[in-house]
Amino acid sequence: MAITGVTRPGHAQLRVLDLEKSVDFYKNVMGLVETGRDAKGRVYFKTWDERDHNSLVLRQSDQAGIDHFAFKVLDRATLERLDSDLRAYGVATERLPAGEMLGTGERVRFEIPTGHIIELFAEKDFVVGRDRLVNPTPWTPQSEHGIAPLRMDHALLYGPDIDGNVKLFTEVLGFSMPEYVEHDDDGSKIAVWLTCSNKAHDIAFARYPEQGKLHHVSYLLESWEKVLRAGDVCSMHNVKLDIGPTRHGITRGTTIYAFDPSGNRFETFCGGYQCYPDWEPIRWPLSELGAGLDYPQRKLHESFLTVVT
Amino acid sequence: MLHKHHSISVLDCEKTFPCRDGGTVFSALVSSKTGVMINGCRGGGCGVCKIEVLSGAYDVDGVMSRAHVSAEEAAAGTVLACRISPKSDLVVRLRGKLRPSSVSH
């Protein structure tokens, strides 16, 4: 399958309550690589295996949560086309100049129906060394430090109008919907998993009364054993787990949920299936959401529905 | 008990829970497994453990999100339970959104 248009999640910018405590957490527990700090005080990170300059940006704030979630599009022409398509659809867009974020080209910013800020960009500096491009070793000292995920993979965001999001992401941005949860009685959508690739999800949304909430940012690991190791790393650093280690029924990924020092949830996961845009979506009635969330225990953990930043 | 404990009286359920000196009020309520407190973010960010301290002394350790506790509230004893540890017995009232109607319709 050709990956065109919106190609993948690019970065998440999170608000943290104590910047240096959070930097220490993302460097030494999550095991990310710090790639820079800007004049606004934001701190930038990538995983050991990512080539783009950053996939996580931390900003000091008095409130936790997510500032924006961004996707990388194929090229500048695609960025211009999608900006024009968004405007034609009735979405107001704004341009942020290249360099406003370190190592990142011009961004197109817009608000989606659930109140989240989404950005698109075409260019981000490659910071990968030659040793990773010629005869690379399968792992490095950095890949063994902390949880050390392969990549920032997706996010789950909470807000009221997820139907509006599905329409925008599928009709304008070229996403498809591999899975969804619907209310048993009226068939209204409770949660949706959307992809711009053949991953089971690049972004997901769940219905929640408040606008613009973050449920989690997710990081991909190589194996179930690495998910268990992530649990060990959390415990070694006294980071309490929220859910897992277990397996989701929805997307079939193996998973751990836990929280960063500001209470922003993160996921470390592995697996899930590959899908194609012509597939009929998988439906989960709300009454089976426990199995969708935690298949072995069939347990609808209370914090899954209520704890967001 | 090996450690010094303080008691946390929760008016909403008329129950009292022991809290280890130096431990958080949140941990004491969650570990009681009574359902009085759900598992939250433990980082001062999500607000589910918001409580009002009606009497007693406590230490604050860490920052609480202004989205959930204003400066005025904090000064008047409304705090996030994951960010305080008791210095004496406490009497508290729950102020968090323990069960929002997000998916129950």
Q: pLDDT tens-digit profile of A95-146? A: 999 999 999 999 999 999 999 999 999 999 999 988 999 999 999 999 999 9
The neighbour count for residue A160, using CB atoms within 10 Å, is 17
Predicted confidence at residue B104, as pLDDT, reads 34
- Flag whether residue A305 sits within 8 Å of chain B, measured between CB atoms: yes
Lowest mean pLDDT among A23-37, A243-257, B25-39: B25-39
Q: Which tens digit of pLDDT belongs to each residue from A190-213?
A: 999 999 999 999 999 999 999 999
Integer CA distances (angstroms), A2 to A197, A277, B38, B58, in order:
9, 11, 45, 59
Among A11, A53, A116, A216, the one annotated catalytic: A216
Task: Read off the pLDDT of each residue in A253-270 and give the average, rounded to a whole number.
Answer: 98
Q: With CB atoms and an 8 Å threshold, state whether A309 touches B63.
A: no
How many DSSP H helices and E strands does chain B contain?
A: 2, 7
Bridge-based pairing state of the strands A107-111 and A117-121:
antiparallel
3-state DSSP: chain A helix, strand, coil percent, rounded to 5? 20, 35, 40
Residue ranges of alpha helices (H) inside B1-105 are 25-31, 71-75
- How confident is the model at residue A174, as a pLDDT? 97
What class, spelled out in words, does domain A6-143 have in CATH? Answer: alpha beta
Q: Is some CB atom of chain A closer than 8 A to the CB atom of B99?
A: yes
User: Closest partner residue to B41 among A18, A209, A309, by Cβ?
Assistant: A309
Question: Is the bond preceding A245 in cis, omega lying within 30 degrees of 0?
Answer: yes
- Indicate the residue of A62, A190, A307 with minimum beta-carbon distance to B66: A62
Query: Residue B55 has what pLDDT?
Result: 97
**Number of helices (H), then strands (E), in chain A:** 6, 17
Out of 1.20.1260.10, 3.10.20.30, 3.90.550.10, 3.90.226.10, which CATH number does the structure's domain B5-92 have? 3.10.20.30
Which of A186, A259, A305 has its CB closest to that of B43? A259
Contact A309 B38 (CB under 8 A): no
- Token pair 């790639």: residue: A35
pLDDT at B2: 65
- The pLDDT confidence band at residue B100, using thresholds 50, 70 and 90, is very low
Any catalytic annotation for residue A267? Answer: yes
* A130 Cβ neighbours under 8 A, 6+ residues apart: none
Cβ contacts of B45 on chain A, cutoff 8 Å: 17, 63-65, 259, 262-264, 309
What pairing do the DSSP bridges indicate for beta strands B58-60 and B84-86? antiparallel
Q: What percent of chain A has pLDDT over 90?
A: 97
- % of chain A with per-residue pLDDT over 70: 100
Nearest to A263 among B38, B42, B101 (CB): B42
Residue A1 has pLDDT above 70, yes or no: no
Chain A CB within 8 Å of residue B72 CB: no
Q: Cα–Cα distance between A304 and A306 in angstroms, integer? A: 6
Work out the mean pLDDT of chain A and round it to a whole number: 97
Interchain contact, B103 vs A261, CB within 8 Å: no
Is A116 noted as a catalytic residue in this protein? no
Strand ranges for A124-240 from DSSP E: 151-159, 176-182, 189-195, 203-207, 213-220
Average of per-residue pLDDT across A13-22:
98
Catalytic residue, chosen from A11, A68, A116, A201, is A201
CATH for A149-306, options being 3.30.365.10, 3.10.180.10, 1.10.287.110, 3.30.470.10? 3.10.180.10
Whether the pLDDT of residue B103 is over 60: the answer is no
**A6-143 and A149-306 agree in CATH topology:** yes
Judged by CB atoms closer than 8 Å, whether chains meet at A307 and B40 is answered as yes
Q: Do B97 and A306 touch (CB under 8 A)?
A: yes
Please answer yes or no on whether A263 and B97 come within 8 Å at the CB atom.
no
pLDDT at B102 over 60: no
pLDDT for B3 equals 76
